Structure 1
Amino acid sequence: MSCTRTVGCPGSVDETGYCDRCGLSPVPPPVAADQPDRSQVSRSAARDSWTVASLVSLPVLTFAPDQAVTQSLRVPEEARFCAKGHPVGRGRAGRPGLDEGFCPRCRTPFSFLPGLRPGVVVADRYQVVRCLARGGQGWIYLAKDTHQDHIEVALKGVLHANDEKALAAAVQERQFLNSLDHPNIVRSIDFALHDDPVAGPTGYIVMDYLDGMSLRRLLSAAKDPRQPDVTLPLDHILAYGHEILAALDYLHRRGLLYTDMKPDNVMRTADRVKVIDLGGVRREDGGCAGLVGSPDFLVSMEELQTRGATARSDLFALGRTLAELFAYHTPGPGTPGAARDALGVESFRRLVARATHPDWNRRFATASEMSEQLLGVLREIVAGGRDQRQPEPVSLFQPSARLLDTGLGLVPPLHTWTAEQDHPVLPDGCPTARAVALGLPVPRPDPDDPAAGELATIDAPDAQSLLNKLATVRQASVEVELGRCRAHLELADPRSAVDALTAATALLGVRAAADWRLTWHRALLALAGDRIDEAAREFDAVYADIPGEIAPKLALGYCAERDGDGVRATRYYAAVWRRDPFQASAAFGLARLRLAATDRAGAVAILDEVPALSRHHDAARIAAVRVLSSRLASGLPGAGELNQAVRRLALLHLDGGERHGESRDRLTAAIREVALDLIRSGNASGLVRGPALGVPPTERGVRELLDRSYRALAQQADQPEDHHVLIDRANAVRPRTRW
């Protein structure tokens, strides 16, 4: 079996269970689950919380300083080597290995005990107080800066070297750490040398001392029943991820890689998350020699050998970190998006899956790209009730002005009465697949596209005008071809739309397989052709690539609705609607699903949530009136529901605000028709008195009012035959008289 513990190690594991080259076991020994963590943490009495990304309030914690040390100060035997790389200090025949001694092969002295004793002064400045822990490259000590009022600092040993030139070069290389200044990165303030009597010259990174605990220890504390105040809900995990990404983005923009991301190397202080242990930070040079990293958080050996360490390998390690934290997460009250059956949990899993994808090209390319999607998932997780929703910030899609609804939010057209159909049932309002394909949000243009400047100046009133203007763009452009694809869809020319998408794919070359925009447009083509299952598969692939975005979930909600899967459709629509109150298409989708379940009250409750500032607010109010006053497949509304419709009709802003007009006349006619049916069925008890239905509502009175409504509708008819139909309706409904 090949060795998997050390980067680049060519050795293999022999019968002893250890590598014959590096001497390490293939899998590190697990930490005992029942080992108690004596660290005590509690909420601060002074302040209750601090906020991350204006979305998550994290509790301010306090830590017991005299119980801060929990890690074993003994180096594991499988990590013991002499200065020349020979395994030493290993136990034999049940006896533990020596902590100090000489290598039996090269006689090099070794010591696996802390080299700095309390009171020792490093570099004539830093006085050691005690050993804190064993890091990946050396011991970590608490010390006091005798030149700066004895402030507490941390010393992390990172280097042993007997070659003075190599030591000087290494010291110079580490100096760049002192220039790093970010609120989520522990501050490195100096690099000090100390002559260790056993190991020789040793380099120490001097950092700010942080009072807190690593995410690894926080995870352990969250599982400890003796510390009920310490929890690890999903929104907290994402908040930690957001802060870590800010630190990684800062490093990556400076051409630096962190290389050793894991829960152990992130510190949770009272009111901050900080990345610690900068010993592995290196310049992004495409190599992996001397790489510091933990096997469980490293990308494949093949990737390291072909691409070296990259920003994507840092993000891979962060994905693994989030996954490990999630494996032990605790439920968080007040976050319905984190419930086990909520879509937010699925979105989180997809975020992690993309970050840790085995294909380098499919992973997040930058920390800012991953952060944008993480924030979207976080908004989905913390989305709450009606009063807690906020408008969605800028995303990868442009907002769409179209409402994905057919008729439910519109005043009934005149042909509702001229079609000569008695007792019409309220249409479900489900739009056609083509209408949805044209009405879904459009991806924002790539600002790095060579034609981005020209495209920003193009404004066309219709699809044909857009095609004419796009034809003037001389540069080869993916965005131009995608614009052509959508324009041809608008013009019902699917063959030309496919040709444009093929051209965009060719321009992207090898990058095409990982570009979600192409997948999105393939989904639109399938949807426009009413191939619902194919469209759903493509939209699902987009969701996997950009799990924090709303648009793919809205599209998947529609596909599930068309498939007749109300449970799945509700899951998608609800996730969108709970997150953004201006996604009225999701509200109408939920209302349709409620109607399919004959739940008038539920449909109206959803429609009432569309805010007054939404462009679709009036459509939602009209839809509510129609839901309350229309015949469904299950039958007529009750008297109470019809009364609500009458009251709501009086408050609608119709016909430019006029008291009488075509729209109000049609809605009034629809209500009077249902009122007459209720009276004739004997279920009209409780109908409200008023001008809309009569004082009191009687069959004769409602017939007289409906006669007037039909004659008013006849005045709206453009065709003589429609006028005749409406007059016939009026004559048929009016009460009989003697003259």
Structure 2
Amino acid sequence: PPPPADVLRYLLRVLPALGHLHRMGLVYCDFKPDNVMVTASGVKLIDLGGARRLDDLVSGYLSTPGYRAPELDDDGERPGGVERTAPSVATDTFAVARTLARLVLGRFPGFVDAYRHVLPPRRAHFPLREFESLDRLLRRATATDPQRRFQSVTELADELVGVLYEIVARTEGPVPPLASRWFDATGHPTGEAGPAGPPAAWEVLPELRVDQDDPRAPALTAGPDEDPAALAARLAAIVPVTTEVHLALARARIRAGQLDEAARALDAAAAAAPREWRIDWYRGLAALVARRPGLATADFDRVYSQVPGELAPRLALATALADVATTAGSARERQAARERAAELFDVVGAIDPGVTSAAFGLARCRTDASGKIDAYQRVPRSSSAYTASRARMIGVLVARVPGTDSLAAGSVAAGSAALLRAAALLADPLLDLGERRRAELRRDILTAALALVPAGHPPPDGPRPPTLLGRAMVERELRFGLAETYREMARLTPDRASRVRLVDQANRARPRTLL
């Protein structure tokens, strides 16, 4: 089979022709690889002899086993409970997905019998194992229930583009960021706690956009000074109540901490629009706020299956799983959740490095120092999270240095290399650390270095020691540097008692001299 990225490119170039037929009131009926031609001038859909009008319920039509939707099959070939219907847009999107499956998986056994209407197990085929979004897209597009499939070629194409971005980013190299159809690009840069405490769940994850086609859309966003409770009260008075009003009310209730009222708003939305996946998004968000990450995981997993080309559901699912990894009952459950969260964070960060909270999430899931450092390195220099990522890297490098006097030569060399790398990071002119934080990191590096070097003076005939933060890596010089750093920290500390304590530490660190 050809590379999956090429298959998706071919289909994305021919789908506009199929969409044109649908807009003309026609259904193609027999979409399959034989009817798609790749030529020097482009990709073409051929053989329109089997097309028929969408409202024609009596004329005959052509379709091919293996690409034919289950509702078009004869009675003995349809799955139980599936009623026979006429060709429709949903049967065409089914055939497109089967064409995609055939091309990326090759001639897998059972295509027209055992797997006539379903896909083979994901584990049996490398493209499905490697690209989960591709697997989920195919399974939604080939759902037995036509109402669960993509309802238009445009909807299918939008998700195909997202899946293509993942495949290209992971197999061919970096790609420009892909604008989401559903979510704003904003989100917490690290997903970690700051001076004001941990961020709220809705701050960590991208924000769902309001459908601007809804007649009530202008009234559904908060004013500049409107708090969530006041917004919820205002939204509750809007009539008539559309799906967008239900969702906006649920969002405001969640932010106001009114989780029971939010659940009722979502139930009302589900009654009005039972196949609306955004309801599951807000249910997952409410579960995160309620500290029930297991429920959030199930909700976000359903969202991922509905919009497999979007990154936000994967980021949300990874965030919920990372919480499960800290709260699950057994060590095995916590480990499984951590590994799954790391997998999702890894994919999101690889596709769009601008989603920097994915890099920080991946680092939290890694237990080895190398894995953490590799994750933090993904944060681009242009990001507002760049300084935080490099400060975390310095912390990881310093922590790698063992605090013992009986070290093997290899351990000393590895520790010295880690500290030299940390010092190089600290010297980066792009780091916006502030004087106090920079001094604290300098202190940590010098303290770790003192644990590596032997006590006393180096032998005069020995190799010249490396320089760390402007000081030779020998005990005396490092102690002078550490004392100087403590005094700088004292100068930057407004509290008198803290200043006295830091000066005492500087005096203890300073080596003995004759003066």
- Equivalent in 161, 164, 169 of residue 378 of structure 1: 164
Secondary structure of the 1:383 match is: helix
The corresponding residue for 2:376 is 607
The corresponding residue for 1:651 is 428
Secondary structure of the 1:273 match is: strand
Encode CA deviations 1:626-656: one digit per residue, 9 max, x unaligned.
3323358999971111112112212244568
Secondary structure of the 2:305 match is: helix
The corresponding residue for 1:571 is 343
| CA distance in 2 between partners of 1:292 and 1:608 (Å) | 54
Give 1:354 shift.
0.9
- Equivalent in 439, 459, 477 of residue 665 of structure 1: 439
Give 1:362 shift.
1.2
| CA distance in 2 between partners of 1:700 and 1:472 (Å) | 73
The answer to which structure has the higher helix fraction is 2
Percent identity, aligned pairs only, is 35
Asked if the contact 1:680/1:699 (under 8 Å) is kept, the reply is yes
The corresponding residue for 2:260 is 495
Give 1:372 shift.
0.4
- Equivalent in 314, 330, 350 of residue 92 of structure 2: 314
| CA distance in 1 between partners of 2:464 and 2:263 (Å) | 59
Give 1:405 shift.
3.6
The corresponding residue for 2:419 is 642
Residue 205 (structure 2) pairs with residue 440 (structure 1): yes
| CA distance in 1 between partners of 2:57 and 2:403 (Å) | 69
Paired amino acid for 1:527 = L
Encode CA deviations 1:335-381: one digit per residue, 9 max, x unaligned.
xxxx9277653222211111111122211111100100011111111
Map 1:628-707 to 2 at 5 A. Answer: 628-630=397-399, 638-654=415-431, 661-679=435-453, 688-689=466-467, 692=469, 694=471, 696-707=472-483
Asked if the contact 1:261/1:317 (under 8 Å) is kept, the reply is yes
Encode CA deviations 1:66-112: one digit per residue, 9 max, x unaligned.
xxxxxxxxxxxxxxxxxxxxxxxxxxxxxxxxxxxxxxxxxxxxxxx
Task: Flag structure 2 segments of 5+ consecutive residues without an equivalent.
Answer: 73-77, 109-124, 326-333, 405-410
Paired amino acid for 1:670 = D
Secondary structure of the 2:38 match is: strand
The corresponding residue for 2:292 is 531
**The structure with more radius of gyration:** 1
Asked if the contact 1:438/1:490 (under 8 Å) is kept, the reply is no
Residue 486 (structure 2) pairs with residue 486 (structure 1): no
Asked if the contact 1:478/1:504 (under 8 Å) is kept, the reply is yes
- Equivalent in 40, 43, 49 of residue 273 of structure 1: 43
Give 1:249 shift.
1.2
- Equivalent in 132, 137, 147 of residue 351 of structure 1: 137
Residue 373 (structure 2) pairs with residue 591 (structure 1): no
Secondary structure of the 2:467 match is: coil
Paired amino acid for 2:346 = A
Paired amino acid for 2:46 = I
Paired amino acid for 1:380 = E
Map 1:465-484 to 2 at 5 A. Answer: 466-467=231-232, 470=235, 473-484=238-249
Paired amino acid for 2:22 = H
The structure-2 alpha-carbon separation of the partners of 1:668 and 1:472, relative to structure 1 and needing over 3 Å to count, comes to farther
- Equivalences, count: 466
Asked if the contact 1:628/1:641 (under 8 Å) is kept, the reply is yes
Paired amino acid for 1:364 = F
Asked if the contact 1:591/1:603 (under 8 Å) is kept, the reply is yes
Asked if the contact 2:190/2:385 (under 8 Å) is kept, the reply is no
Encode CA deviations 1:245-291: one digit per residue, 9 max, x unaligned.
21121111222211222233222334422222212222221735434
Residue 24 (structure 2) pairs with residue 246 (structure 1): no
Computed over aligned residues only, the root mean square deviation of the Cα atoms, in angstroms, reads: 3.6
The corresponding residue for 2:101 is 323
Paired amino acid for 2:104 = F
Map 1:79-228 to 2 at 5 A. Answer: none
Asked if the contact 2:189/2:384 (under 8 Å) is kept, the reply is no
Asked if the contact 1:404/1:435 (under 8 Å) is kept, the reply is no
The structure-2 alpha-carbon separation of the partners of 1:243 and 1:386, relative to structure 1 and needing over 3 Å to count, comes to closer
The structure-2 alpha-carbon separation of the partners of 1:318 and 1:729, relative to structure 1 and needing over 3 Å to count, comes to same
Give 1:716 shift.
4.4
Task: Provide the TM-score with structure 2 as the length reference.
Answer: 0.78
Paired amino acid for 2:283 = R
The corresponding residue for 2:121 is none
Paired amino acid for 1:313 = T
Give 1:472 shift.
6.9
The structure-2 alpha-carbon separation of the partners of 1:340 and 1:307, relative to structure 1 and needing over 3 Å to count, comes to closer
Give 1:474 shift.
4.6
Paired amino acid for 1:345 = F
| CA distance in 1 between partners of 2:385 and 2:483 (Å) | 32
| CA distance in 2 between partners of 1:669 and 1:712 (Å) | 10
Paired amino acid for 1:518 = I
The structure-2 alpha-carbon separation of the partners of 1:624 and 1:290, relative to structure 1 and needing over 3 Å to count, comes to same
Secondary structure of the 2:189 match is: coil
Paired amino acid for 1:678 = L
| CA distance in 1 between partners of 2:128 and 2:89 (Å) | 31
The corresponding residue for 1:388 is 174
Secondary structure of the 1:267 match is: strand
Residue 469 (structure 2) pairs with residue 708 (structure 1): no
Give 1:677 shift.
2.6
Secondary structure of the 1:372 match is: helix
| CA distance in 1 between partners of 2:403 and 2:33 (Å) | 56
Paired amino acid for 1:571 = E
- Equivalent in 580, 589, 604 of residue 352 of structure 2: 580
The structure-2 alpha-carbon separation of the partners of 1:292 and 1:304, relative to structure 1 and needing over 3 Å to count, comes to farther
